[in-house]
Amino acid sequence: MFMKNSLKLNWKIISRCVLAIILAVDTVVSISFSCWAGETSPPIPVRVSVAELTAGVSGLRYSANITPRKQVDMAFKVGGYVNEIAKLPGPDGIMRDVRAGDRVKQGMVLARLDVKDYAVRASQARASLEEAKASLAMARKDYERNQSLVKGGYVAKSDFDRKQESLDVAGARVDVALAQLDQANNQLADSVLKSPLDGVVVSRFVERGSLVASGTRAFVLVDLSAVKAIFGVPDSLLSRIKTGETLSVVVDALNHREFKGIVTAVSPSADSKSRVFDVEVTIQNSDRILKDGMIATVHVDGVNEREHPPTQTTGQPYMGITSVPLQSVVRPPDDPKGYMVFVAAEKNGQWFALARRVELGDVIGRSVRVLHGIAPGERVITAGATIVHDCALVTIAP
């Protein structure tokens, strides 16, 4: 009984595909006759891709990249010789310099510069401050003494004004000395790199004894206690993705293990090239099994066969329909909300671009499903789709 049902289902799908191809060919023939005469413009070079029949799945599936929740590039704010690099026990138990893959704790000293020069500058700035404070104290006493004398007429007003000026200068020198001491202390503190988070070392770019300049990158750290799965959706499906919603994320590299994540961000603008909106799903990763750069599949409960029954154009339901590359989809000039694909058709040794209105389904990786308008096996224009027009002469580049 199962075999009979399977044969019936396969024959049903094959019949729909054959019907779709026949209808698409009839459409090409009926449309193309208006294109063969009168076109004298030079042919436009394009690249094409063959529309493919995709296997049916329930809901929507998107290819996603796993990225860390947070990544920090650490650099030295001051220059000098690297005097120390943090040590951790290696797999053999022997202490070694921290390297890529090691876990570090927040506040841990990762590297330290030779601080002799910065310690000397701090001592000099401290001495200058003490000297400025002593000068200020003397200037204040002199000012207070002359303040009582000028009231009795024993000191000229001009002499008292000079005492006031000396007091102000002494106060300014104290402020300068304080600023210089703060700068020296900051430089001394900046000679030490501390981890700002509990994370994993991705890269280390310095060695013990190397001379580094201000701004030299030393470490790259990532926080993998939670990760983000980032994928793109077209604007037609953007309304189905809501922040706070829970989505299923499957990682093939981990034996198709499924994780639950929460939509934490949806990009407000589309990518200029792919015309899709980035969606961010945050997944808790307490066991650190998910790594930066892994590929995942995000499942979104979406349209089904009842919502998209077989269409008159292709005779195909949503399950098992044609897919085309994302870059082949353009907007019709007279319909800013619609979608269009150019098909390359050949007649008497010449190739023409034929415009097709299409209805889009979900995005799978870098392809999008076409609910109707394109049949499997047709050549759709990818590179050059934005510069051709209906009935334009084209040449197909390899």
Residue 209 domain-assigned?
A: no
**21 in a structural domain:** yes
| Domain-embedded: residue 81 | no
Mean pLDDT within 142-165:
71
The CATH number linked to 279 is 2.40.30.170
> What pLDDT sits at residue 319?
42
Question: Which of 190, 214, 236 is the C-terminal boundary of a domain?
Answer: 190
Other beta carbons less than 10 A from residue 243's beta carbon: 11
For residue 277, which phi and psi values (nearest 5 degrees)? Answer: -100, 130
Helices 157-190/116-151 angle, 10° precision: 160
In a domain, 33, yes or no: yes
pLDDT per residue as tens digits for the range 43-74:
889 999 988 877 554 557 788 999 999 999 99
Rounded CA-CA distance 216/355 in Å is: 54
318, 273: one domain: no
Question: Are residues 359 and 293 part of one domain?
Answer: no
Range in 23-27, 206-210, 216-220 with the lowest mean pLDDT: 23-27
Residue 34 belongs to a domain: yes
| Residue closest to 372 by CA, chosen among 333, 324, 300, 328 | 324
Instruction: Count CA atoms closer than 13 A to 225's CA, side-chain side.
Output: 8
CATH number of domain containing 353: 2.40.420.20
* CB-count burial class (<10 Å; 0-12, 13-18, 19+) for 252: exposed
- Say which CATH number the domain at 179 has: 1.10.287.470
User: Residue 38's pLDDT is what?
Assistant: 55
Q: Using the predicted structure, report yes or no on whether residue 348 has a pLDDT greater than 70.
A: yes
pLDDT at residue number 21: 44
* Domains contained in the chain, number: 3
Question: Does any domain span residue 195?
Answer: no
Is residue 204 in a domain? no
Residue 378, Cβ neighbours under 10 Å: how many?
A: 25
Q: Are residues 329 and 390 in the same domain?
A: yes
The reply to whether 321 and 353 lie within a common domain is yes
Residue with tokens 């449309």: 31
Same domain, 272 and 336: no
pLDDT digits (tens, 9 = 90+) for 246-304: 999 999 889 889 999 999 999 988 887 777 889 999 999 988 899 998 999 888 765 44
Q: Are residues 139 and 184 located together in one domain of the fold?
A: yes
> Which residues span the domain enclosing 348?
2-56+308-396
pLDDT of residue 55: 58
Sign of the dihedral through C-alpha 212, 215, 216, 221: positive
254 and 320 in a common domain: no
Q: How confident is the model at residue 28 (pLDDT cuts 50, 70, 90)?
A: very low
Helix, strand, coil fractions of the chain, as percent rounded to 5: 30, 35, 35
Comparing 134-138, 144-148, 265-269, 272-276, the range with the smallest average pLDDT is 144-148
Task: Tell me how far apart the alpha carbons of residues 295 and 279 are, in angstroms, rounded to a whole number.
Answer: 15
- Helix (H) and strand (E) counts for the chain? 3, 24
What is the average per-residue pLDDT within 136-141? 85
Query: pLDDT tens digits for 159-210?
Result: 767 777 888 888 888 899 899 999 889 889 899 999 999 999 999 999 999 9
Q: Give the Cα separation of 107 and 357 in Å (integer).
A: 59
Mean pLDDT confidence for 121-146: 85
Residues 334 and 377 grouped into a single domain? yes
Q: Which of 190, 215, 247 is the last residue of a domain?
A: 190
pLDDT value, residue 166: 83
Tens-digit pLDDT profile for residues 80-116: 999 999 999 988 888 999 998 899 999 999 999 998 8
Q: Which of 146, 171, 190 is the last residue of a domain?
A: 190
Domain-embedded: residue 88: no
Q: Are 80 and 192 in contact (CB under 8 A)?
A: no
